Amino acid sequence: MILIPLLIGIIVGVVLILVTQLLLKKGYSKSTINVYTLGALVLGILIVAYGYTVVRGFEGFAYLLLGAPIVLFGIITFISNSKKTQTAQ
């Protein structure tokens, strides 16, 4: 039961990577893709902060399990996007 938020967070992270790849293939600018990725990072951080400060306890831990993969996948996507656009230029 506790792994459901983790699974949802991983699914959201994979969707983040797939949408970023799609935006790269469509030819969107680097700033557009970075805004999308940073938005996901902020969302993940807000989910973790909400779970830690407002909800607390085991329910807050579920929010942590939901937000942490989103933050990790956002960082991975941001770094990989920066490397791909540097080599493309």
Residues 35-59 pLDDT 10s: 999 999 999 999 999 999 999 988 8
The answer to whether residue 60 is domain-embedded is yes
In a domain, 13, yes or no: yes
| The pLDDT value given to residue 87 | 67
| Confidence band, pLDDT 50/70/90 cuts, at residue 81 | confident
Amino acid at 35: V
pLDDT of 77: 93
Residue 14's domain comprises: 3-81
Q: For residue 24, is it within any domain?
A: yes
Closest CA to 66 of 16, 14, 17, 7: 7
What tokens does 75 get?
A: 């960082």
- For residue 41, is it within any domain? yes
Total of domains in the chain: 1
For residue 89, the model assigns a pLDDT of 58
pLDDT band at 1 (very low <50, low <70, confident <90, very high): confident
- What's the average model confidence in pLDDT over 13-36? 93
Helices (H), the chain: 3-26, 30-50, 57-88
